[in-house]
Structure 1
Amino acid sequence: MEQTQPPASLSWVERLVEIDTTSRDSNLPLIEVVAAYLRDHGIDPQLFPDESGRKANLVATIPAADGARSGGVVLSGHTDVVPVDGQQWTSDPFTPTIRDGRLYGRGACDMKAFTAVALHLLPRMVEADLRAPLHLALSYDEEVGCLGGAHIVKQIADLGLAPEVCVVGEPTSMRVVTAHKSINLLEVTFTGIAAHSSLTPQGVNAIEHAARFITEVRGMADAWRTGGPFDPAYPVPHTTTSVNLVSGGIAGNTVADRCVVQLEFRSIAADDPAEVVESLRSVAARLEAEMKAEIPERADEVSVRLEVLAQVPGLDSSADGPATRLALALGAAEPEGKVTYGTEAGQFAETGIDTIVCGPGDIAQAHAADEYVELDQIVACEQFLGALIDHLSATTAEAGR
């Protein structure tokens, strides 16, 4: 692929990719680099450590020319990346490599290129005569359940920033995405009573009851697949669920007293995630009662516990809302339907901020070996965010009158 215009922000993309921020590790090395750069340009970032102190969210505001810090646009990005364990890379995943018009490296696509472009344009943001503020929001642990996102939207609210519009820069090939499904990860732990397999009446088999639960989950999946509700804007037009991890038992001749099941469901807007969770709790409660009834005198040893490990709300923004209208005016491509993957956008939208997803790169490259972002996509993002600065610039607005 021929590349005629190298991205001006290339050095920042390379710098961020070089910092290994795999979710299991700390993101502080990246946060500290960004914080120092912001301070060098007169911007005082707010850092919000997690409970461990090993990770942090960052929120920074470039105020309007009149000093206003409330309102405006927030640019959202997550700092963590998925592991490279077991993947076959043709180059070091944390040594950015350019070939054939692409920049290869873990996080290049998902989603450090967007953040890098914003940082590259920071001097221009600071120098601009802004009519409304710009905010930068960088989170931790998006890849393991949008954990930092759940906190950062509250932190933004507590700071009184009240952005009107949010752009989450996940890879969309610079196309506006207005909707995605929710993500819900649940774990169900079945605790039975162990016994020798020759004395099965003296035990309560956790695996067998977990299997009944799994059958119920599959029944829910089949019902959604055949009966809906449906939203044809999605490639998979209905709510989905699947059991993806099962662990239980200690030996082939022992009645299993423990089994753990993990399942996920992703819902369209017509299905309320809270109602789905309650339906699953009802199934778990019924199975628990059946398990306790097998040996009533030992019922207190038996349990079924359902825990919600992560919930990420879906996004369902208006195709004619202020965020979409702004993005299209800035040169983003028109929406082409809804997407099945999840982002932090739903968390921002739940706080009343009109939110879209729009960023450089293709989601098909995210998480894969030899992850890459097209250099042309970085240039397109530079043009998009540059147009945003111009749009918010009072001098540009005056010149256009």
Structure 2
Amino acid sequence: MTDELTELIQDLVRIETENPPGNEAAAAEYIHDWFSEQGIDSWLVEEPYPDRPQVAARVGDGDPTIVLNGHIDVVPAGDPAQWDYDAYGAEIDDGNLYGRGSVDMKAQVAIGMLLARDLAPEFESGDLPGSVVVHAAIGEETGEPGTKALLEAGYDGDYGVVLEPTKMRTATSEKGLAWYEIAVEGAPSHASRPDQGSNAIMHARPLLDAIEAYDAELRTRTDPLVEKAYATVTKFEAGTKENVVPERAVITIDRRILPGEAVEGVDAEVDDIVTAFAKEYDLDVSWERIRTYEAAEIDVDSPLAEVFRKHSQNVGGVAPEPWGIQASTDVRNFVNDAEMEAITWGPGDLSRAHSFNEYIKLAEIEAGYDVLDRAVRELLTSES
């Protein structure tokens, strides 16, 4: 199994699936073909985008149903010169498998695929009750509704496990995020006659101060599992040419949202800041929310979470304390949209994701397969 698992991860990593622009199709077709070769029912799902299919597979046909979810899109690899290994070479060195998407999260997709294949004979013989659904979703890296579309198409169940790298800690809650663009308008002029124009960069300076004060207030809001809320300025765009007074400045904010905070309430806070600034300085200012991942949470003592905490501790020595993930994942679609009990859990270290020389330790993924196998079996048989 170790060699087969390694080869499967390598095959997936070697298929470039960068998003943007959204190159998942080749990987989806590979996964669909792989399931077909194993004699497992799988479907290429063309929602939400016909040219970017995603995959759902099913083994078993009873209850309960456990959904193993992973995304196949990856962030761009960036400058090849910054990598010590080919970003899409899936090279192995000293027990580490390198490549974009290795830890986030094609290795975890691979263990979901293999576990479904390995359990299939027991479902078919009647030795194991219930069923397992596997998702190979698109668009997670850019907040697109890939997983949501799979769930809406009927590939749902009683439990969901989003197989992101958490060091096998079991996350029952996660922060959300919203990205806002705030535009401050001015008027252009030649830089040799700056007083004829209205410099949008200079106008934006006190707005940056207001956002900094907002962030300071947010840091006093805390959640016991995911800690603090934030509002971080991540982009500032202005100017068209060195000798032109800029007519527009756009500030981008990354707002991290705690469980229990509604997106509508965050919108209202941003609007209050913008409205007060525009009134005080008599400026034309507008804002737009351009991307949203809602926060999500389930009971920390849910049966799903307890089973995964137990086996992660027994196999991997992972402390069983309740935990929440500060990043955003597709678990929100399970909890908020499909109203399913779901966790974020998986082998690997998220701090390696999106980095040059991204890698997964093969020992980590092998232990992850073991935990996943034990946990899924317990969940299936405990309700029979």
Match of 2:25 in 1: 28
**C-alpha separation in 2, matches of 1:90 and 1:197:** 45
Q: CA RMSD in A?
A: 2.7
Q: CA deviation at 1:112?
A: 0.7
Match of 2:135 in 1: 137
Match of 1:341 in 2: 327
- 1:338 counterpart SS class: strand
| Alpha carbons of structure 1 residues 11 and 250: separation in structure 2 relative to 1, 3 Å | closer
Match of 1:266 in 2: 256
Gaps of 5+ in 1: 295-302
Counterpart selection for 1:376 from 351, 354, 363: 363
**C-alpha separation in 2, matches of 1:42 and 1:139:** 18
Match of 1:239 in 2: 229
Q: CA deviation at 1:306?
A: 1.7
**C-alpha separation in 2, matches of 1:366 and 1:61:** 28
| Alpha carbons of structure 1 residues 336 and 372: separation in structure 2 relative to 1, 3 Å | farther
| Alpha carbons of structure 1 residues 182 and 238: separation in structure 2 relative to 1, 3 Å | same
Is structure 2 residue 208 aligned with structure 1 residue 256? Answer: no
Cα pair 1:165 1:322 within 8 Å, conserved: no
Cα pair 1:322 1:354 within 8 Å, conserved: no
**C-alpha separation in 2, matches of 1:271 and 1:393:** 34
Is structure 2 residue 31 aligned with structure 1 residue 38? Answer: no
The correspondence of residues 216-231 of structure 1 with structure 2, limited to 5 A, is 216-225=210-219, 228-231=220-223
Q: CA deviation at 1:389?
A: 5.0
Cα pair 1:27 1:54 within 8 Å, conserved: no
Mean alpha-carbon deviation: is it higher for 133-142 or for 269-278? 269-278
Match of 2:88 in 1: 94
Cα pair 1:174 1:380 within 8 Å, conserved: no
Is structure 2 residue 293 aligned with structure 1 residue 312? Answer: yes
Q: CA deviation at 1:282?
A: 3.0
Q: CA deviation at 1:76?
A: 0.8
**C-alpha separation in 2, matches of 1:109 and 1:252:** 42
Is structure 2 residue 102 aligned with structure 1 residue 108? Answer: yes
**C-alpha separation in 2, matches of 1:151 and 1:114:** 17
Corresponding pairs, count: 371
Q: CA deviation at 1:245?
A: 0.7
| Alpha carbons of structure 1 residues 14 and 335: separation in structure 2 relative to 1, 3 Å | farther
**C-alpha separation in 1, matches of 2:243 and 2:6:** 60
The TM-score normalised by the length of structure 1 is 0.83
**C-alpha separation in 2, matches of 1:222 and 1:389:** 43
- AA matched with 2:131: P
Cα pair 1:163 1:353 within 8 Å, conserved: yes
| Alpha carbons of structure 1 residues 249 and 123: separation in structure 2 relative to 1, 3 Å | closer
- 2:223 counterpart SS class: coil
Q: Percent identity?
A: 23
Counterpart selection for 2:77 from 79, 84, 90: 84
**C-alpha separation in 1, matches of 2:164 and 2:95:** 20
| Alpha carbons of structure 1 residues 393 and 356: separation in structure 2 relative to 1, 3 Å | closer
**C-alpha separation in 2, matches of 1:17 and 1:252:** 43
**C-alpha separation in 2, matches of 1:285 and 1:192:** 16
